Amino acid sequence: MEQKKILGEDRRKFILQLLKKSSYPITGSDLAEKTNVSRQVIVGDITLLKAKNEPIIATSQGYMYLTQSSGVPLFERTVACRHTPEDAERELNLFVDHGVTVKDVKIEHAVYGDLTASIMVSNRQEVKQFMKKIKNTKAAFLSELTSGIHLHTISATNEQTLDKAEAALKAEGLLME
């Protein structure tokens, strides 16, 4: 028996419910399969949901609905880094090994101005998946457009964790000073 397509607004409500209930990212392909539409239709649906100010982000692992976790305050800061593409995995692993989530990467592009891309990695498995996706798609790191200079928004449950992660990156020569 063929699964019936979920249409328009009903599909977007269904996608929103799935994302809100999930504690992990859901790929566009998974959402497409669950709603019996193409992945491209899902991309359009996500765009429409974002236009309605739904806090959905696209990560390397899939789509996530951003919610503040159960009463645990998060501390955030932005750090400036500089390194070659070969050091990207080492940089991300240093962050996550210190209990830090790397939320995004930002660069200042000469033509487009500030460009930001979601990363959302908080453990080695997610870093591995992110790096695999970069390799498999032959995508360039944003930092390759700026001679390795880039910013990361990082978060943790306390300032000391952020301080320790920053100190580790500085010791490895990956932090800009």
Per CATH, the number for 75-171 is 3.30.1340.20
Sole residue written with tokens 């932090």: 175
d(CA 6, CA 14): 9
Query: pLDDT digits over 131-174, tens only?
Result: 999 999 999 999 999 999 999 999 988 899 999 999 999 999 99
pLDDT greater than 80 at residue 11: yes
* pLDDT (tens digit per residue) in 70-88: 556 678 999 999 999 999 9
Domain ranges of the chain: 8-65, 75-171
Q: Which residues pair with 56 in a beta bridge?
A: 65
pLDDT at residue 85, as a whole number: 94
Q: How far apart are CA 2 and CA 36, in angstroms?
A: 9
Estimate the crossing angle of helix 28-35 against helix 39-51, to 10 degrees: 100
Q: Is the dihedral of CA 43, 45, 51, 53 positive or negative?
A: negative
The Cα–Cα gap between 100 and 165 comes to 7
Q: Residue 61: pLDDT above 60?
A: yes
- CATH 1.10.10.10 is right for the domain spanning 8-65: yes
173 touches 86 (CB < 8 A):
no
Say how many C-beta atoms besides its own lie within 10 A of residue 69's C-beta. Answer: 9
Distance CA 115, CA 91 (A): 20
Contact indicator for 31, 15 with CB cutoff of 8 Å:
yes
For residue 71, the model assigns a pLDDT of 56
The predicted structure's pLDDT at residue 3: 67
